[in-house]
Chain A
Amino acid sequence: MAIKFTEVSYQYSSPDGSLFDALKNINLDIAKTGEFIALIGETGSGKSTLVQHMNALMKPSSGQVEIYGIKINHSKSKKQKLTPLRQKVGLVFQFPEYQLFEETVMRDIMFGPRNFNISKEEAKQRARKAIIQVGLDESYLERSPFNLSGGEKKRVSIAGILAMEPDILVLDEPTSGLDPKGRDALIDLFTLIHNTYHKTIIIITHDMNIVHQVASRVLVMREGELVFDGTSEALFNNESLNKWNLEEPDLIKMTKQLEQRYSISMRPFPKNIDQLFHHIKDVI
């Protein structure tokens, strides 16, 4: 197991001194390879706090997070060596494109690996590899990151994390603010990275259509609690969906309506319109 949460709670203190439970008694296992996890839940439900525990940017108030054998809990001193695990678990924040700052794309991508004491030569080589991995070409390396489109900037910032060669890639709302074309291209990229390099990918998203398309496992956060951990198929069959203020993906919603209309069953749920059409063409 790469990451293991055992009874993890986290409390923020407000300026007025009151405490706020951001995470409540979380138990969770995440494998080193092969998982494609969607982490969903309302704004303020604790998603970002949860992922920041995954590479020890935050420490639990109580309970323990074990990351690649390193145990993180409240009592441990600040001197602990956390660098190796930050390299293993790469975290891409929301709107990473605002965090580009170097003169060239090459230097920006090299920044991460250089922080982990990778030699300049090696970091350059990794940058060349990473820019290809994110679907751009080497000509981008000499360009200024500030003259790129929004989608390209996002790719460059993801390349910066990939160049650290993490096992696990965590992305906080990576498609927010993109148009449908940009969103699909990015989702295709994550699927490719997942399939080709067998990395575990965890994405925070509000887009239930993405959850349906790509996630093999879904985690639902609600008011600091992990209320669901299972397959997307099981989630869309779960009657609590409404209670958790989650909306069904458009395709699932329509599938259920058509099931009722024609008194048929279409399970597992179709992943696209062609599959759905195949199910209903004989009854319509």
Chain B
Amino acid sequence: MITVEHVSFDYHSQPDVLKDVSFTIDKGRWVSILGHNGSGKSTLAKLIVGLLKAKEGSITVDGIVLNEETVYQVRKKVGIVFQNPDNQFVGVTVEDDIAFGMENLCFTREEITKRIDKYAKQVGMEDYLSKEPHQLSGGQKQRVAIAGILAMDTDIIIFDEATSMLDPIGRDEILAFMQQLKHQGKTIITITHDMKEAVLSDEIIDLKEGQLLTHDKTKKVLQDKVTLNKSNLELLPSLKLYHKIKEAGIVNEELRDYLWQLSLQK
């Protein structure tokens, strides 16, 4: 469980990037954090893993209050996959790259080898262990990054726009993974502006100019016009039509259900 209480942050001299943000994410939930560029989404992710330090407020992960002493304990619980596959490939080969996080956590060599095999298989990269990053596609690099995070066996995984630089096939691969991880009981936080990704999650947190605008069940956020008007969410056509029909006063529950189901398809 993650509790964020009255958190504010600024990058010196600039106005606050986050203003008095509070929310709780329960264990095993998949939560999307949405908002435009500059809304503070990525800053929030960096605060939760202790890459940045909040100006005010507190962050608690599984009962541990995040501070300079506890940051390494927290990082054993929270893994993060970043946007750009090229910026996070640190190993010389796929194998090295998956091992990197585990080495930092001081796993034994034996344990590391075992886990590399297991998680490379899980992301379908077992045949690429000796490959170098330039021999991989963007989607493959992201899968390696995910294997590295999975191998650390954190309970919580944050995907910070992890699909935004991939082509549609690469994106669908990663989305399928997120669903698998959710099944395994992991807590997932996806920071995104892709509504196809958001609609699959359990809850939506919508940020606007550093403030928390909405935090509710995904279905409720996307079906409630009042909430939607406040935010700037870009709806999928099926949901746009859903609301168009509702506004026109046409009562057709069956069609509305159908359109909702359409919006859940990848």
A contacts, CB < 8 Å to B: 42-44, 149-151, 176-182, 206, 208, 245, 247, 250-251, 254, 257, 261, 273-274, 276-277, 281, 284
A149 and B37: CB pair below 8 A?
yes
| B241 in complex: contacting residue of A151, A261, A273, CB < 8 Å | A273
A254 and B237: CB pair below 8 A?
yes
| A181 in complex: contacting residue of B170, B232, B245, B262, CB < 8 Å | B232
Cα distance A261–B259 when bound, in Å? 12
In the complex, whether B165 has a CB less than 8 A from a CB of chain A is: yes
Known A151-B37, A276-B241; judge A43-B193 contact (CB<8 A).
Answer: no
For A149, the chain B residues whose CB sits under 8 A away are 37-38
For B237, the chain A residues whose CB sits under 8 A away are 250-251, 254, 273, 276
Among A150, A180, A181: residue with most chain B CB under 10 A: A180
A43 and B164: CB pair below 8 A?
no
Known A176-B165, A180-B234; judge A281-B241 contact (CB<8 A).
Answer: no
For A276, the chain B residues whose CB sits under 8 A away are 237, 241
Known A254-B237, A273-B244; judge A177-B164 contact (CB<8 A).
Answer: yes
Cα distance A155–B37 when bound, in Å? 16
For window 237-266 of B, CB contacts with A under 8 Å fall at 237-238, 240-241, 244-245, 248, 250, 252, 255, 258, 262
Known A181-B36, A250-B236; judge A43-B137 contact (CB<8 A).
Answer: yes
For window 38-77 of B, CB contacts with A under 8 Å fall at 38
Look across to chain B and name the residue whose beta carbon is closest to the beta carbon of A181.
B36
Q: Give 1 or 0 for each of B160-196: 1 = CB within 8 Å of chain A CB.
A: 0000110111100000000000000000000001000
Cα distance A44–B134 when bound, in Å? 13
Q: Which 5 A-B pairs have the closest CB atoms?
A: A180-B234, A251-B237, A273-B240, A179-B193, A179-B37
| B262 in complex: contacting residue of A151, A182, A257, A277, CB < 8 Å | A257
A250 and B238: CB pair below 8 A?
yes
For B167, the chain A residues whose CB sits under 8 A away are 42-43, 206
A42 and B169: CB pair below 8 A?
yes
For window 188-225 of B, CB contacts with A under 8 Å fall at 193
A-B contact pairs, 11 of them (CB 8 A): A44-B137, A150-B37, A177-B164, A181-B36, A181-B234, A206-B167, A245-B168, A257-B262, A273-B237, A274-B244, A276-B241
B contacts, CB < 8 Å to A: 36-38, 83, 137-138, 164-165, 167-170, 193, 232, 234, 236-238, 240-241, 244-245, 248, 250, 252, 255, 258, 262
B258 and A277: CB pair below 8 A?
no
For A274, the chain B residues whose CB sits under 8 A away are 244
For A179, the chain B residues whose CB sits under 8 A away are 36-37, 193
B248 and A281: CB pair below 8 A?
yes
For B193, the chain A residues whose CB sits under 8 A away are 179-180
Look across to chain A and name the residue whose beta carbon is closest to the beta carbon of B35.
A179
For B38, the chain A residues whose CB sits under 8 A away are 149
Cα distance A250–B199 when bound, in Å? 14
For B250, the chain A residues whose CB sits under 8 A away are 281, 284
Cα distance A182–B234 when bound, in Å? 12
Cα distance A276–B165 when bound, in Å? 30
B238 and A254: CB pair below 8 A?
yes
Look across to chain B and name the residue whose beta carbon is closest to the beta carbon of A42.
B167
Cα distance A43–B136 when bound, in Å? 11
A-B contacts besides A149-B37, A149-B38, 4 pairs, CB < 8 Å: A179-B36, A206-B168, A247-B168, A277-B241
Known A182-B37, A257-B262; judge A277-B238 contact (CB<8 A).
Answer: no
